[in-house]
Chain A
Amino acid sequence: MSDVKNDSENKTEERPPVSYAGIIYGDIIYWGTLAGAFVVLLGSIISFATTNNYVDPAYMLSALMDGKNVNEIWTGAEGVGAPPNGHWYLSEFTTGNGLTMLGIAMGVFSVTPAIFASAYYLYKDNDKVFASVAALAGVITIFAMI
């Protein structure tokens, strides 16, 4: 039944506890995303204010606005010649757009450790079924990265 009705009989009860597995999940993602945002800022200034770039950002933005597709953009990029395959920014993180991409990837990646940390705390809370579901979600997320 809805729950509101049942609840009206329990006005003296305490607030339900907030799941620690949820808190740890949210906190890791929150700080991971913020850290990623600061790295993106740093990468953006290096991209614009120096010539230390994997691909010239002026070319990239122009090709993008010109309606070129992914293949055309990367093929026409000086010194690159083909679309990257894999995590290209890891070996290029000292360049402006490599660092910018690393920052975005950090924000996205923060989901993975958050899922596993949450799975661990669900397991500790004896919620083995959902700890396994969480771990499975984490494994699938890793699978998406490779």
Chain B
Amino acid sequence: MASLIKRIPELSLLIFGTVIIYIAMGLLSQLNDTNVLTADGAWMLIVGSFLMSFVIAIVAVLGGVGGGVLFTPVMLGFTSIDSLLVRSTGLVVAMFSGLVSSGPFMRKGLADIRIVFYCAIPIIIGAMLGAQVAISMADSMGAEGDAIVRLLLGLILVFIAVMFIMGGAKNEYPKRKFIDRISEKMNLKSAYYEESLGKNIYYQAIRVLPGGFLFLIVGFTGGFFGLGGGWAVVPVLNLVMTVPLKVSAASSGVLLAMGNAAAIWPYIMKGALIASFAAPWMLGQVIGGIIGAHVLSKINAGFVRNILIVLLLMTSVKLISRGIEGFFGVDIPIL
């Protein structure tokens, strides 16, 4: 950690600045108490959000998912914050660790810029549509729309958890048996140097058309639920398009950052992103994202993945019960 801070001076400056500013915010606060929050409570909310965001960034990198997959369901399941505001902040959580890790991944030659741009078009369009539908639904359906969102998100979480339990996408060097005509024309081939094998790995993406269609769906889901989509991008690249796992994982972060950047503008322009609340979540993701991209490969990811599965299943139960409560007006006694 100390060597990392020396190696990346901008990281140490950001961590130092964050600590100083947060202490100063507590000491010099001009905020007034309200019926809901005291001035100290508001400061603790900011600092607590920053720390949670930092932890989520690390867990998300280790678990191989975007931070939005943790943030959005937990906030929707266990707090009374409006679902549209949770989902817009969820996009901040989903995208900023991906944004800062784009630099290191590109420099290492792991993320494939041509694959990223090809997949970016459907994912950006899907994410924008998802965000617009979310905003329209919040305007027109109110509490009923909220209940539907919670219910659907709960079901998606069960699906993600099952995907993790089954092992998910783990095909380090997928073999392709054929190449379709469109993929051949697109010529999405490249190579990267695999440190562990000490040699170059050559690959070519196939099934680019079904892959593109799946990215449209991933983008829509990410933009609508504020989930990001890290849980789905790697399997699509790796299993459907036969891109090596390492390149899939690195390209996934870059790709999601691009898709979520497009999805978040409609929320910003409608005032559905509250700056004071989103800021600590952004800072936690930036700092956690830089650290995650450089040093966290040595930690036991399997253990974190198991925690993630339990967390996703527990949250899904809460979300589904809250969804049913809201939609049918019944009371389900679950904590």
A→B interface (CB under 8 Å): 1-4, 6-8, 10-11, 13, 15-19, 21-23, 25-27, 29-31, 33-34, 36-38, 40-41, 43-45, 47-51, 56-70, 73-74, 83-89, 97-98, 100-101, 103-105, 107-112, 114-115, 118, 122, 127, 130, 133-134, 136-137, 140-141, 143-145
Contact of B30 among A21, A41, A51, A68 (CB under 8 A): A51
B→A interface (CB under 8 Å): 10, 14, 17-18, 21, 24-25, 28-37, 39, 42-43, 45-46, 79-82, 84-85, 92, 95-96, 99-100, 102-109, 111-114, 117-118, 120-121, 124-125, 128, 138, 142, 173-176, 190-193, 197, 199-204, 244, 254, 257-258, 261-266, 268-280, 282-283, 286
B81 touching A34 by the CB < 8 A rule? no
Nearest residue, chain A, Cβ from B91: A108
User: How long is the Cα–Cα vector from A62 to B122 in the complex, in angstroms?
Assistant: 38
A8 touching B82 by the CB < 8 A rule? no
Asked, given contacts A48-B31, A62-B34, whether A13 binds B111 with beta carbons under 8 Å apart, the answer is no
User: How long is the Cα–Cα vector from A83 to B237 in the complex, in angstroms?
Assistant: 39
Asked, given contacts A40-B282, A41-B17, A144-B266, whether A83 binds B42 with beta carbons under 8 Å apart, the answer is no
A137 touching B113 by the CB < 8 A rule? no
Asked, given contacts A45-B24, A88-B271, whether A67 binds B80 with beta carbons under 8 Å apart, the answer is yes
Q: Could you list 27 examples of A-B contacts with CB < 8 Å?
A: A2-B174, A2-B176, A7-B202, A25-B102, A33-B286, A34-B100, A38-B17, A40-B279, A41-B283, A44-B21, A44-B279, A48-B29, A48-B30, A48-B31, A65-B36, A68-B82, A70-B82, A70-B272, A73-B271, A84-B270, A104-B275, A107-B282, A108-B264, A111-B261, A118-B117, A127-B114, A130-B114
Most buried by A among B24, B43, B203, B272: B272
Contact of A37 among B35, B39, B191, B282 (CB under 8 A): B282
> Contacts A25-B102, A58-B34 given; 19 further ones with Cβ under 8 A?
A3-B204, A7-B200, A13-B200, A16-B109, A26-B254, A30-B99, A44-B280, A49-B29, A58-B42, A60-B277, A62-B35, A65-B79, A70-B270, A85-B269, A97-B276, A104-B92, A127-B114, A130-B118, A141-B261
Nearest residue, chain A, Cβ from B242: A2
Chain B residue numbers with a CB within 8 Å of A109 are 261
